[in-house]
Structure 1
Amino acid sequence: MTPITEVEGRRVALSNLEKVLYPESGFTKGELLHYYATTAEVVLPHLRDRAVSFLRYPDGPDGQVFFTKNVPPGTPEWVTTAEVPRSEGPARMVVVQDLASLVWAANLVTEFHTHQWLVQAPDEADRLVFDLDPGAPATIVHCCEVALWLRERLAADGIEAYAKTAGSKGLHLLAAVRGSSSERTSEYAKALAVEAERAMPRLVVHRMTRSLRPGKVFVDWSQNAARKTTAAPYTLRARRVPLVSAPVRWEEVADCRVPAQLEFVADDIAPRVQDHGDLLAGLLDPRRSVSLP
């Protein structure tokens, strides 16, 4: 029998709580739900008012992994949804606004991915993002070097950058912006990626061609496109262990010498939040949002 729990007055069905999702660490679905419930204070602000794509892995990372963009069948009527534009026509997607919706979505076993715009203003980007993806034998250590260069370059334009791990092998840089379309934000991001490649030609590549990537850091500027989504802050990832896309301090980026220094699993996050709060809180402060030059 599927257990029912009450979350903020909503009845949420939970299933297979003892199921091991990450065999390498023994991490169960119940632990996944506990992670999201206990970190909701920092997770929810980065999901709220954003259409969410789910990368689902109900049998763990070694099982079937698939994206769900439209509202899943059986979604409770109290879960917020929104109509969002797509090139093939408008679609309806989930918007995770509260703890009950977060727990319901987590029960589907999901990574959370969001657009760089709010559902109230899909024509205006409010986030700038760079996905720094290392091509072996390059690692996140090399991504850190590129991230520090991009941080300084963005600061020269009056833009404050924040960093988080991808939760896989790279880094994400984010900034709060306003007054620009996704197209304009993409143009700006591409220009900086090209500039980074010119400044560090042995380390950086801005083109998507995979044959160019070995030993370099691909500065992926394309996730600023309106249709693209990026792994949300604090989401668990479908990897060998329960790695998290975790916000990091710039001191940690500068001091990184081996990849393990910037690998964080679910159990690491609560102590980090207790020590540092939400390291991405500045992204949520409208006073820190700036116009692109």
Structure 2
Amino acid sequence: MTAKTVVQLTVPGPDGNRTVRLSNPDKIYFPERGITKREVVEYYLAVAEPMLRVLLDRPTNLKRFPDGVEGEPFFAKRVPKGAPSWVRTATVTFPSGRTAESVAPSEPAVIAWAANLGTLDFHPWPVRRADPDRPDELRIDLDPQPGTGFAEAVEVAAALREVLDEAGLIGWPKTSGGRGVHVSARIRPDWTFIEVRRAVIAIARRLTERIPDRATVAWWKEERGERVFLDYNQAARDRTIASAWSVRGLPRATVSMPATWEDLPSVQPEDFDLRTVPGLLAERGDPHAAMDIAIGGLETALDWYAADERDRGLGELPYPPEYPKMPGEPMRVQPSRARRPSPENTAE
């Protein structure tokens, strides 16, 4: 039996150097491009500074691909066994009421350690470990449906920027690494997950009413058509999206890349991958470097939600199927399967 190769990496950090074990560094993770596990870890060390601004003290789910992108991935929502003592944790509460200790990155070595476990996508919660029940980030996932693509998501994102501005929020866009666009805004941690989700619903409704032929909040796929879906349920507790700078588990090793609003219309997801992003970062810096100081509130968006509910009868929207029934939520029934009243049960 051939002995496994192990490399010891020295990773500087705020509390001194850490030793990170890199096992099987030459294992191929992306066969299409011949990208090795070592390259993945080296990539994450190259982008660790801006990535830590995104992940710092956030409970983070690790999407692990231990056999590379052609293997079966899984989400690690709890701290993996054998984690070094310097890996910080945060206590999170799932919709079921159960709790868990989740990785809360605090230094570059934590990112490298997770990458050695086969982590490609880092999925942070929109909260910090000091207050894990009150988000400090509002996120909107623009998900192109069949018949639409990245270009349509970019167009919808531009309209979303205007609505966020009216709500007193500053949006920061990034490519998803696939066909979509993610837009985030820093907020004060003064609201619950339910309130943040309702703010997202109100913002999304306001947007879809302006461009109904291009954007939708329809939860059921049969109602979306060839439009960009504003996935408001990504704001629900325990729902996460891949962070900025994450390598996606796709054949080209594309990266979820921060962008400026000015640059977004001229980029393509394929422009940003594991091999190109470190050079772009060194050349241009972090497009979202000022995000943490652009903090807004949800007062206006929640006023919109309240007005929609009071004046138009537009309240909650369906939660994902694994969630418990939530207050005010409509029935989770696909429209085409909804029971129609039979003639004998119809009032005269």
Give TM class, smaller chain.
Answer: over 0.9
Matched with 1:205 is 216
Opposite residue 291 of structure 1, the aligned amino acid is G
| 1:57-81 C-alpha deviation (Å, 9 max, x unpaired) | 1112221111110111111122111
Match of 1:80 in 2: 88
Percent same amino acid at aligned positions?
33
Equivalent residues in 2 for 1:81-120, closer than 5 Å: 81-86=89-94, 87-110=96-119, 111-120=121-130
- Asked if 2 retains the 8 angstrom alpha-carbon contact of 1:202 and 1:216, the reply is yes
Counterpart in the other structure of 2:291: 283
Alignment partners' CA distance in 2, 1:85 and 1:275: 40
> 2:250 is matched with which residue?
239
Checking the alignment, whether the CA contact within 8 Å between 2:6 and 2:25 is kept in structure 1 is: no
* Aligned match of 2:142: 132
**2:260 counterpart residue number:** 249
Match of 1:7 among 8, 11, 35: 11
Distance (Å, rounded) in 1 between the aligned partners of 2:264 and 2:225 = 22
Q: Which structure: greater strand fraction? A: 1
TM-score scaled by length of structure 2: 0.79
Provide closer, same or farther for how the CA distance between residues 21 and 214 of structure 1 changes in structure 2, counting only shifts above 3 A: farther
Q: Secondary structure in 1 aligned to 2:148?
A: coil
Match of 2:338 in 1: none
Using structure 1 for the length normalisation, give the TM-score: 0.93
Q: Tell me, what secondary structure is at the counterpart of 1:230?
A: coil
Aligned length: 288
Pairing of 1:1-293 with structure 2 (within 5 A): 1-8=5-12, 9-86=17-94, 87-110=96-119, 111-178=121-188, 179-255=190-266, 260=268, 263-285=271-293, 288-292=294-298, 293=300
Using CA pairs under 8 Å that are at least 6 residues apart, name the structure with larger relative contact order, 1 or 2.
1
On the 8 A contact 2:91/2:132 being kept in 1, the answer is: no
Moved more, 107-116 or 78-87: 78-87
Residue 281 of structure 1 aligns to a residue whose secondary structure is coil
CA RMSD of aligned residues (A): 1.6
Q: Alpha-carbon deviation of 1:262?
A: 5.9
List per-residue Cα deviations over 1:87-143 (Å, max 9, x = no partner): 332211111111111110111121100111111112221101110111122001000
Contact 2:177 2:269 in 1 (8 A): no
Counterpart of 1:59, as a letter, is D
* Aligned-partner Cα distance in 2 for 1:55–1:282: 27
Read off the aligned partner of 2:257 and give its amino acid letter: A
Determine the C-alpha separation between the residues in 2 that align with 1:157 and 1:193.
12
SS at the partner of 1:125?
A: coil
Displacement after TM superposition at 1:212 (Å): 3.0
- Residue ranges of structure 1 left out of the alignment (5+ in a row): none
Deviation of 1:5 (Å) = 2.3
> By how many angstroms is 1:11 displaced?
2.2
- What is the alpha-carbon distance in structure 2 between the residues aligned to residue 138 and residue 127 of structure 1? 27
